[in-house]
Each structure stands twice: as C-alpha cells, then as structure tokens.
Amino acid sequence: MTEPAVTVVVAVYNTMPALTECLESLVGQSIGLDRLEIIAVNDGSTDDSGKELDRFAARYPGTFKVIHQENSGGPAGPNNVALSQATGRYVFFVGSDDYLGREALERMVKMADKNDSDVVLGKMVAVGNRSIPRAVFRTTENSIPLIGSGALYAISNTKMYKRALIEKHGMRYAEDLPVSCDMPFTLEAYVHSKTVSVVADYDCYYAVRRDDDSNITYRARFENRLKVCKRALDRLHELSGPGDLYDAFAIRLLKVDLAWIFGENFLAETPERREECVRVTAEFLEEYYGSSFDRFEHRLTVPERLRFRWVFARRTDSLTELVRTDTAGDLPPTLLDGDHAYALYPGFRDSRYDIPDSSFELLGTLVGRFGPGTELASMAWHQDADAFALDVSVRVPVVGDTSSAVVRLADRAMPKSTDKAGARRLGKHEELPRPVGEFTRETTPDGDATVVRARIPLKRRKATLGLRVSLDAGGWTYEIPVRGEEHPLPLARRWRVDDPYRVAAEVNAKGRVVVATGPLYPPNKNWGSRLRSLLTGSKRK
C-alpha cells in the first residue's frame, strides 16, 4: 500500500450530530482518498458517535479506520492511540465537532512539501462564538519565526505536523492532562521545528463552538489550567532554557491562559472558591514569575497587569471588583500627568498598597478610551449684534493636566479608520489648525471627567463642521469627534438681517455632532449683472 500523504486523527467523545459534518469534510478533501488516512478513536461515547464512525468506516474501508475504547477522560489518550498507528508522512489533528475546507489538506501538504515544513498552520475560521488566533494568519508564509509572528498564540494542535518529527523526538500527549493537553505537545513541536509555515489564503479549519461548552465546570478547568501552564513552562525550560522564547511564551500565558482564570467565571464562584483561586495562582506566579513579572508587565494591558498585582498581593476583594468592572466594559477615567497617561483604577497611588505607577500606565494608542466617553454636555447659540458664536460644553473622560483640551469646529471629514475607534491619534509631525475661541476646563463633581467649555465664533460661509475635541495625552495629540445621541440640540437660527444666514446643529448617522452654516437665501445677482443681461437680451432682439 502506498504511504498516505497525511493521516488525520479524530478523537471522538459524544459529538453527534456535529461529527457527521466533520467526517464528511474529511472524506470530501480534494487531496483524494488515495492520499488520505483517517484514524478515528471513539473514546467511550455514550451517544451515536460510535455508530456514525462505523458507518463511515464501512463506506470508506481503504481510508477510514475506527478504534473503540473505554473513556479515558480526555483527548490525550485517543490521540496517542491514533499516533501509534499513523502511517502518513504528515499528521493532522481535527476536533470532532470542527470541519475542514475542501482544499485544506491539499494546500497544506503542498506547502509542507515545498518548504520541507515541520509544522503547517492552516487559516482558522470561527463558527459561533469560538475564540481563535488571528495574527498568525494575516499572510501566507513559507517560514515564520516563533517570536513575533503570533505562532505562540496559536498553540492548539489543529495543525499539520511532519510525522518523522514526532517519532524522532518521541512526542506524545500527556495523558494526565484532561484538558489543554495539546499545549505542551504543540509547543514541543515548535521548538524542534526548523520550518513552520502558514497557509493564510484559504479557509482551512472551521472551529465550532458547541452549545454545551458551558457544561464543562469551572472547578475542573481552573486547576487543570494551572497544571497545563506549569507543564508547558517546565518542558520549554528543558528544551530551550531561559531566553527570549521562554519569556515570549511566559508572556503569552499571562495574557491568555492565566488572564482567563480571572474572567467572568471567576465572578460566578463562591467567595471561598475565589480565595482558593487567588491563593493557588499567587503561589504559581511566585514560583514561575517572581521578580520577572516587572520585566513582562509592559507587554500587558492595564487590566491584565492589575489582575496579577492583586493576585500577588492576595487581595481577592480588589481583584473581584476589578474583574467585575472590566468584564462589564466600564473604563475608568484617564489621568494626564505630563507625558504619561494612567488608568485610574482603584489602588492608584494608594499608600495602602505597594503598586507602582507603571502598573496603571497606559501605553500605545488611547483612541479606544477617548472615543466612547467624549460626549456633548450642552450646546447653545450666542448672538451679539451681527456676531454669532457657538456656546458648547463637552464631557471628556480625562482628568489631571487637561490644559491642552480644546473644542473645535472642523471642516474636514474624519478618516474612516475612526468609525470604530471613535477617535484618532495624529502623526508625530501632524498638526491641527490653531484653535479659535475661548475655553475653560472644570473637573466634574465625581472626579471622573473634565468638562471643556468653549465659545467658538462662526464665520459667514456655507459649511458643514464637525464638533471635535483635541488634547495631548502620553506624548501624542488626539482628535475626538463629539457624540451627541440623546442630548438636546438648539433649534436652527436665523443670523443677520441683511444677507441673512442660517445655522443648525444635528447628530449625523455616526452619532456625531455637526454644525451647518450657510446663506438663508440663494445669492442675488447684483444690479450690474442684471443690467448687462437686459442689454444683451435687447440687442439679440
């Protein structure tokens, strides 16, 4: 029998009816049945999964092999059983409730053969609310580095591996890890690989979120998550020792696996259970991170940093409040302090806690913090004889040194890139026009924001002007459209007696306040023009 190009391993436990779509996607692969070997291991399913596997084995006897066994408690055992019988040059692992694009295996084998790849990642697509890695799939690549490519954030086993690599290093799944056993396996494959490739120009793998995901208890997953993290760090240290790769993976664990522990499920636990979670995680952090956390901190977001600061301090109460605020999407105000910007979460510069300012410092762009909270407070017209102005107050979610904050009427459109973020950060050499008007600034009574008040003179012209706030924060200048939904706007006004103008305010389709000015009537031709028209008309007669 000719050696198959690829062996597909399917560990199965109670995944009907999704299993059928998975298996159909395998036997329908464009690579052809003659180049394909499918080994499905039924891990003691109690639904009809076993029968469905037998049905496919009967239909495709030269390609499909089924192994039935008692339940082992996780996918590690079934994967190892299948690996012991695999004969393909490559091995691909697929979840039994996921499915493949028709050309997935053909394209991935072609990529591996062309580049002598040890591991090939095929582009993943989320079905339902499934969380998947995205950064690593931006472009197709013959070879990627493990650091900086996003590979360390794509650590599941749903990839294609050179079987010779697996056998050379005796790689198998740790059967004492009931969940996430693929993390140490994939990590080891990465370390041993000379070439890791990416197929990103085709939707290879459809990752499906099952309706019963919530049935997996948080209690089981919490301890197991830490167990997997320990195993992965220990194995990586054995394989590569301390260095950039170890640090990059340690940061990945902080941002993904450990941060997950303190998400919504944490709030659903009893106070006693939360205390236990904090205690055990603190012991883990002290053993594996210790003072190194200070070096890694700048790679984390402020909420991520503070989660671990509160864990280190064993402050379950403060951690719980932070998780509750963060999962609700509530953003604290931003403190502007010289060239620094800080998120004012509880604990900032609080003498009761030993948390450095750096844990609260906002790094990178701040557009996501300014856009949602910058909104209209009040608006009115001000007329003095023929002079006309806009009186406006805008609430901005910043405090501290707000002397740079001004309100503007801009006659140019905001870039489309601001539609989602709600603000933009100017380039280092980009400048806005000099602000026009009178400005005052006052912190709100609750201390959560600053109200910027302005009187801006209006010119006699036809224009549509966007109401914007600009301010300096963290060494950058930001321009922020002012939102005005559900805020009263002044009625349109006539302006001037001779040559009258009209001014009106509205909220556009994007929820932003705009001011329109223009002549009330179309301009009349002057007498000279009218006389010339009459004379020209009489001559023609």
Number of structural domains, the chain? 3
Q: Considering the domain boundaries, does residue 539 fall inside one? A: no
pTM of the full structure: 0.84
Instruction: Among 171, 193, 213, identify where a domain stops.
Output: 213
Q: Considering the domain boundaries, does residue 1 fall inside one? A: no
Exposed/middle/buried for 104, CB within 10 Å: 0-12, 13-18, 19+?
Answer: buried
87-108 pLDDT per residue, tens: 999 999 999 999 999 999 999 9
Which residue is listed with tokens 């301890």?
Answer: 223
Q: Considering the domain boundaries, does residue 245 fall inside one? A: yes
Q: Are residue 120 and residue 140 in the same domain, yes or no?
A: yes
Q: Which of helix, strand or coil describes residue 351?
A: coil
- What's the CATH code of the domain at 139? 3.90.550.10
Q: Are residue 234 and residue 109 in the same domain, yes or no?
A: no
Query: Which are the contacts of 500, defined by CB distance < 8 A and separation ≥ 6?
Result: 494, 519, 520, 521
User: Over its length of 541 residues, how does the chain's per-residue pLDDT go in tens digits?
Assistant: 588 999 999 999 999 999 999 999 999 999 999 999 999 999 999 999 999 999 999 999 999 999 999 999 999 999 999 999 999 999 999 999 999 999 999 999 999 999 999 999 999 999 988 889 999 999 999 999 999 999 999 999 999 999 999 999 999 999 999 888 999 999 999 999 999 999 999 999 999 987 655 333 334 477 889 999 999 999 999 999 999 999 999 999 999 999 889 988 899 999 999 999 999 999 999 999 998 899 999 999 999 999 999 999 999 999 999 999 999 888 899 999 999 999 999 999 999 998 999 999 999 899 999 988 999 999 999 998 888 999 999 999 999 999 999 999 999 999 998 888 899 999 988 999 999 999 999 999 999 999 999 999 999 899 999 999 999 999 999 999 999 988 889 998 887 767 888 999 999 999 999 999 999 887 665 555 555 555 555 444 3
Q: Considering the domain boundaries, does residue 536 fall inside one? A: no
Q: Are residue 206 and residue 252 in the same domain, yes or no?
A: no
Q: Are residue 20 and residue 151 in the same domain, yes or no?
A: yes
Q: Considering the domain boundaries, does residue 112 fall inside one? A: yes
Q: Considering the domain boundaries, does residue 527 fall inside one? A: no
Q: Which domain holds residue 464?
A: 368-519
Gap between the Cα atoms of 342 and 399, Å rounded: 10
Q: Are residue 209 and residue 221 in the same domain, yes or no?
A: no
Strand order of the sheet with strand 124-127?
A: 99-100, 205-208, 124-127
Gap between the Cα atoms of 324 and 308, Å rounded: 15
Gap between the Cα atoms of 355 and 267, Å rounded: 23
- What's the CATH code of the domain at 512? 2.60.40
pLDDT at site 520: 84
- Give the CA distances from residue 438 to residues 65, 105, 392, 449, 500, in Å, rounded to whole numbers and listed in that order: 79, 66, 11, 20, 25
Gap between the Cα atoms of 204 and 99, Å rounded: 9
Question: In one letter, which amino acid is 415?
Answer: P
- Rg (C-alpha) for the chain, rounded Å, is 31
Gap between the Cα atoms of 63 and 38, Å rounded: 6
Q: Are residue 126 and residue 223 in the same domain, yes or no?
A: no
230-258 pLDDT per residue, tens: 999 999 999 999 999 999 999 999 999 99
DSSP secondary structure letters along 95-134: ETT-EE-TTHHHHHHHHHHHHT-SEEEEPEEEESS-----
Instruction: Among 332, 361, 390, identify where a domain stops.
Output: 361
Q: Are residue 11 and residue 70 in the same domain, yes or no?
A: yes
Instruction: Among 309, 330, 361, identify where a domain stops.
Output: 361
Q: Are residue 300 and residue 222 in the same domain, yes or no?
A: yes
3-state secondary structure 23-57: HHHHHCCCCCHHHEEEEEEEECCCCCHHHHHHHHH
Q: Are residue 402 and residue 338 in the same domain, yes or no?
A: no
Structure token digits, residue 399: 């405090």
Cis peptide before 17 (omega within 30 of 0): yes
pLDDT at site 535: 55
Q: Are residue 348 and residue 412 in the same domain, yes or no?
A: no
Q: Considering the domain boundaries, does residue 237 fall inside one? A: yes
Q: Are residue 385 and residue 483 in the same domain, yes or no?
A: yes
Q: Considering the domain boundaries, does residue 61 fall inside one? A: yes
DSSP secondary structure letters along 260-282: HHTSHHHHHS-HHHHHHHHHHHH
Which residue is listed with tokens 């604990």?
Answer: 347
Q: Are residue 83 and residue 187 in the same domain, yes or no?
A: yes
pLDDT at site 219: 40
